[in-house]
């Protein structure tokens, strides 16, 4: 980046810290912003500043929100008897995009990963157990990812929820649509067989 003024190189360096953004993409963005109207650049800067200033976690489900309770938890049309447990807010958003789930959520904000120093106390598990014992929830769907840590977290949650008056289920996982059996890894095939259903 020799020859560019420091404000440009600083912006490029910061943009490179974003996931999936390399040096060339960051430089294209920086040059695009230089050519953009001042109002648009200022609006972008304000949006980024407001992201950290105004976003907090829902008091009930721990999803991102700009109010005390998120829009999903406030939605009167949701099935309040079903709770889907996810690792991160991004997982919640992915499930919402399917349009097929109408219950409530609980965001753990991570998974149990001892090698990374993450234990159950660092996740939103105690509040999940309290919700399970509230008497309102009838089913809890554990939708952690099918990774070693995700499976360990799912098993831990199943044990913690065993005394609660709720049905605990796990999302099915297996071969993706258009996938090929011979190229699937052993864990995927194992889960696909375990999650089979009648035709």
Indicate if the alpha-carbon torsion angle 184, 113, 62, 20 is positive or negative.
negative
pLDDT reported for residue 190 = 79
Q: Chain-wide mean pLDDT for the chain? A: 91
* Among the listed residues 195, 130, 123, the one whose alpha carbon sits nearest the alpha carbon of residue 153: 123
The domain segmentation of the chain, as residue ranges, is 6-54, 76-172
Statement: residue 181 has pLDDT above 90: no
Class of domain 76-172: alpha beta
pLDDT reported for residue 156 = 96
Statement: residue 2 has pLDDT above 90: no
Q: Are 142 and 170 in contact (CB under 8 A)?
A: yes
pLDDT reported for residue 87 = 96
For tokens 């991004």, name the residue.
Answer: 90
For the segment 40-58, what is each residue's pLDDT rounded down to a tens digit?
Answer: 999 999 999 999 899 999 9
CATH 3.10.20.600 fits 6-54, yes or no: no
For the segment 63-118, what is each residue's pLDDT rounded down to a tens digit?
Answer: 999 999 999 999 999 999 999 999 999 999 999 998 989 999 999 999 999 999 99
């Amino acid at each position: 980046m020799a020859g560019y003024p420091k404000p440009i190189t600083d912006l490029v360096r910061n943009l490179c810290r974003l996931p999936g953004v390399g040096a060339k993409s960051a430089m294209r963005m920086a040059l695009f912003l230089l050519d953009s109207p001042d109002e648009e650049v200022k609006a972008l800067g304000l949006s980024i500043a407001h992201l950290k200033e105004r976003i907090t976690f829902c008091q009930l489900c721990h999803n991102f929100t700009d109010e005390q309770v998120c829009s999903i938890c406030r939605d009167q049309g949701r099935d309040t008897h079903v709770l889907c447990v996810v690792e991160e807010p991004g997982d919640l958003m992915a499930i919402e995009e399917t349009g097929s789930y109408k219950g409530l959520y609980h965001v753990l904000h991570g998974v149990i990963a001892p090698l990374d120093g993450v234990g159950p106390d660092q996740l939103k598990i105690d509040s999940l157990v309290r919700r399970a014992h509230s008497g309102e929830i009838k089913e809890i769907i554990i939708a952690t990812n099918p990774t070693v840590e995700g499976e360990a977290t799912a098993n831990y949650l199943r044990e913690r929820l065993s005394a609660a008056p709720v049905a605990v289920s796990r999302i099915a996982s297996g071969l993706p649509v258009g996938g090929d059996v011979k190229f699937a890894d052993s864990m995927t095939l194992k889960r696909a067989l375990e999650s089979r259903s009648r035709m």
